[in-house]
Structure 1
């Protein structure tokens, strides 16, 4: 994050799931993710309120190019002038609740967003743009109010903001964008989280929740293994919330099979994290293959397609070149990943993907403190 006399700029990276998708939606279950060197950048600039609005949010994600926001008469918190509140408005509200609880005075400001996480035509790449924009907004608005937040506090605030908009997510993408690098994440008990918020009220719970231990939650950065990450995009965007909801609905009709999936996923992820910590490439690759098989079983019991024909082709090509590969995230399109030993011919692998209509993405793993930590190429 950077700041000047008149504005604060923050950014958050996109993410990819390595393993643990779907299981991590259940409290106490684990996933491994990485963040990549494409970013969402947010600039917050103080302004004078006009026409009853506290400011505007500028982004190509809005049909009109901007979204005016104002303060609610009942409590002074942010809300969209038209339509439902989104992740950005929710993030503003959560951070400002912390400001109010600390006795601070709220300000008016404009907020600008630039994203590298989607195609120019707006198609999703599956890099977690909703999580990244929430994290970047939390950091930028906190910077405006001179709040000092560690990565875990940023995660908690962004998770509270996201849960108010889309309660089905695990928060793994938020944790990755906040902590960065290779991240081990175990999801919290979100029923507990909502119960605490309901008891305390919209404003009263935020500071207490940021300082509290969340049941089930664990977030930590892992040392990067020697395997090289390659990412292929199928060109078919998918809706993660819709897929997750569909898989959960279908799976809960087969409770015994779903329980076995969760048990086996827990064991797989524990083995994977240990293998990553040991930098044991053979064991890492075995667990990636195992996780792919577990997702295939989940697809069968839920009746929902996770690994599409294009993703299967991506995986098979990667395996022919000596890599371990699988879908990444909710599946149904978007991206697949390949973890490649150091002797893998990456040029040949990427060429084979292109020949099959799969687009290799030029991505590298990003972590705080890396040369890409300040994406100066993004202008606002």
Structure 2
């Protein structure tokens, strides 16, 4: 029997939301909340799956049957095993949820990345990091599972870890380069106690863009230029310039939401924006908006601490840090 264990981190989008869909760059951070997967082969054709996310679920089924968990079934279809043996698996993304609600840390991408890594290793298809096509394959599998939406930046962050510059290329697919946050800039993450649907917001954007392609191009060009500028300032350790870009990108997302007819900045996020401004911090949503997480950035530790204390009186601040480790896979038994 073979037992493989894998884990992959969640993510925060620092810059590039929406514009990344139009081939703009995005600045993405892997964070120290990880999804874990474990798979071991069994001696019969029966499969056991235990998943932990918003709630715990267990299912037993025959090898060629469906588990009923779409993520698992999609991976099994994308990377079919050569033998007919059964397996026992555990998929735990509970660390990327709170009280039955997702936090907006890319839990689906982290779960898929971890499960793919464990599945490939357990079924004798190699360690994912050694496969040159692994990331693009994971992105395509995730996109198919998500109904064709999304850029894949969350999968890339889970796969690579650290801080990355992600950009789509129409010919070669995802392009990933190492990046960084500017020295001296800290952040506070705030969960506003409502979970958002990224797919819903992206579908709204695409529907609006189909109605008015010229306006969509204007918004994407504006956000593209800001993302490029912000990433350049981060790489150059221009802390003040980076914070200015965060503020400008937040304003761009608010305007984009009004054009889309979607609340990218919900009333809760607007409250946190106002609070951050009182402490001299820059604030924006992380991801497609509509709930989930917001990020307050600054260079003054006392201002960040004051914001954290005040924000905790209304919502939930989440302690997060950069996770330098991406997908980690180990074959522990043979």
TM-score of the alignment, normalized to the shorter chain, above 0.5: yes
Equivalent residue for 2:57, pick from 61, 65, 89: 65
| Correspondence 1:90 to 2:84 | no
Equivalent residue for 1:165, pick from 145, 169, 172: 145
Compute the RMSD of aligned alpha carbons.
2.4
Distance in 1 between the 2:9 and 2:221 partners?
Answer: 31
Listed as ranges, the gaps of 5+ residues in structure 2 are 330-334
SS in 1 for 2:262: coil
Shift of 1:64: 7.5
Larger fraction in strand: 2
Matches within 5 A, 1:1-380: 6-26=2-22, 28-50=23-45, 53=46, 55-61=47-53, 65-68=57-60, 70=62, 72=64, 80-82=66-68, 86-96=70-80, 105=83, 107-115=85-93, 116-119=95-98, 121-144=99-122, 145=124, 147-150=126-129, 153-166=133-146, 167-189=148-170, 214-226=171-183, 227-355=185-313, 357-368=314-325
Instruction: Provide Cα deviations, 1:84-134, integer angstroms capped at 9, x if missing partner.
Output: x612221233233xx65xxxx564311101220011x31111111100000
Q: Go from structure 1 to structure 2 and tell me whether the alpha carbon gap of 1:317 and 1:81 turns closer, same or farther (over 3 Å shift).
A: closer
Distance in 2 between the 1:6 and 1:221 partners?
Answer: 34
Q: Go from structure 1 to structure 2 and tell me whether the alpha carbon gap of 1:34 and 1:253 turns closer, same or farther (over 3 Å shift).
A: same
Distance in 2 between the 1:146 and 1:239 partners?
Answer: 33
Distance in 2 between the 1:117 and 1:9 partners?
Answer: 18
Answer whether contact 1:11 1:40 (CA < 8 A) is retained.
yes
Distance in 2 between the 1:316 and 1:131 partners?
Answer: 31
Answer whether contact 1:21 1:329 (CA < 8 A) is retained.
yes
Q: How many residues align?
A: 323
* TM-score normalised per structure 1: 0.78
Listed as ranges, the gaps of 5+ residues in structure 1 are 73-78, 190-213, 375-380
**Residue in 1 that maps onto 2:332:** none
Answer whether contact 1:138 1:157 (CA < 8 A) is retained.
no
Instruction: Provide Cα deviations, 1:211-270, integer angstroms capped at 9, x if missing partner.
Output: xxx535211221342211210010011111012111221243232221111111221111
Answer whether contact 1:10 1:137 (CA < 8 A) is retained.
yes
Q: Go from structure 1 to structure 2 and tell me whether the alpha carbon gap of 1:252 and 1:109 turns closer, same or farther (over 3 Å shift).
A: same
Instruction: Provide Cα deviations, 1:267-326, integer angstroms capped at 9, x if missing partner.
Output: 111111111111111111111112112111211211111100110111221222222110
Q: Go from structure 1 to structure 2 and tell me whether the alpha carbon gap of 1:65 and 1:309 turns closer, same or farther (over 3 Å shift).
A: same
